[in-house]
Amino acid sequence: MANRLDIRAILAQQHEIPLIDVRSEGEFAQGHIPGAISLPLFNNAERAEIGTLYKQQGQQPAILRGLGIVGPKMQQLAEAGLAHARDGRIAVHCWRGGMRSAGVAWLLDLYGFKVYTLAGGYKKFRNKVLETFTLPYQFNILGGYTGSGKTELLKLMKQKGEQVVDLEGIAVHKGSAFGAIGLPPQPGQEMFENLLALDLMRNDADKPVWLEDESQRIGLVNIPNALWANMRRSPVYFADIPFEERLNHITQEYGVLEQQKLIDATARIREKLGGMNAKTVTMYLLMGNIKDAFRILLEYYDRFYTKALHNREALHTLLYTVTCKSITAENADEIIRVAQNRSEKV
């Protein structure tokens, strides 16, 4: 007989008990519990057929058709369970913890596995995700103009024991018109939220969590409204690094990327950048003069970020400028020190 576990228990034991998602491949692709394994009881077409039958003829005909579909798959499902189980244990879930997960759990239990099911299914997990964004996390926001090495700083801060959530890493995007170049496809909005919430859950809510200062939209995904509102109320530690230092850094970072993709990204911001500037940047890129191209782009993004930085309430009480001569590892220590001093005074 399957044992029902709540979402906290499932997440806490996921490294020990593999989690099987028996929803259709389409449901899984839209969003799933990170780390879950897709093993559809019904594929997209079969699920649609059963759903239509349920609406038109009722529950019993739909169940009979479902049994007809599942019958030939029973051996395959048991073999898949055998491949994924760990020490004879396995967990199963569907959308609401209903018939799909109950059916697969029964089969695997019959085969001899120690089976667990997720109470409330994926829907319960999604409720937990959305609830997480409303919690009163203490955020420290790492600010700085483009090219300040903020992503590298966050990694160093994490190595030094600070709690860090890498928004750009989760979004698979660096946050500008050029931010997707050279990276894998972004997750969808629902999956981004799942990954972000799970990362937040891993942190101690009673201690500060560092996030990079971002626009609410990162490429194709959006930071959830409640979380975004919390970020906008949080202290900003602005790494103030000289323009030329940042220009050298971003030239090295983006100079290795495909020329045509840089040109295409420039075209996407042509209106905001200005026609003449866009034309000049494109000319420099075609010449291989990356530094002068990014000099124009960096000036544009500096203006854009300055406007966004100051477009928040009570900035004078939230902004802490940390002067840095160059992009070095020592910047992480100084920013942490300033944040700790502020915390002690509050």
Catalytic residues, which ones? Answer: 94
Phi, psi for residue 295 in degrees, rounded to 5: -60, -45
Beta bridge partners of 237: 142, 320
Q: Which residue do the tokens 């483009």 mark?
A: 146
Question: Can you read off the two tokens belonging to residue 162?
Answer: 């600070």
Phi, psi angles (nearest 5°) of residue 166: -90, 95
**Is the CB of residue 147 less than 8 Å from the CB of residue 240?**
no
Burial class (CB in 10 A: 0-12, 13-18, 19+), 33: buried
**Token reading at 82:** 């055998």
Distance CA 108, CA 300 (A): 59
Neighbours of 334 (CB within 10 A): 15
Q: Are 211 and 162 in contact (CB under 8 A)?
A: no
Do the bridges between strand 221-222 and strand 217-218 make them parallel or antiparallel, or are there none, so unpaired? antiparallel
- Tokens 């479902």 sit at which residue? 66
For 117, list phi and psi in degrees, rounded to 5. -120, 150
Q: How far is CA 300 from the centre of its chain?
A: 27
Q: Which residues contact 188 (CB under 8 A, 6 or more apart)?
A: 29, 30, 31, 221
- For 227, the token pair is 């979380």
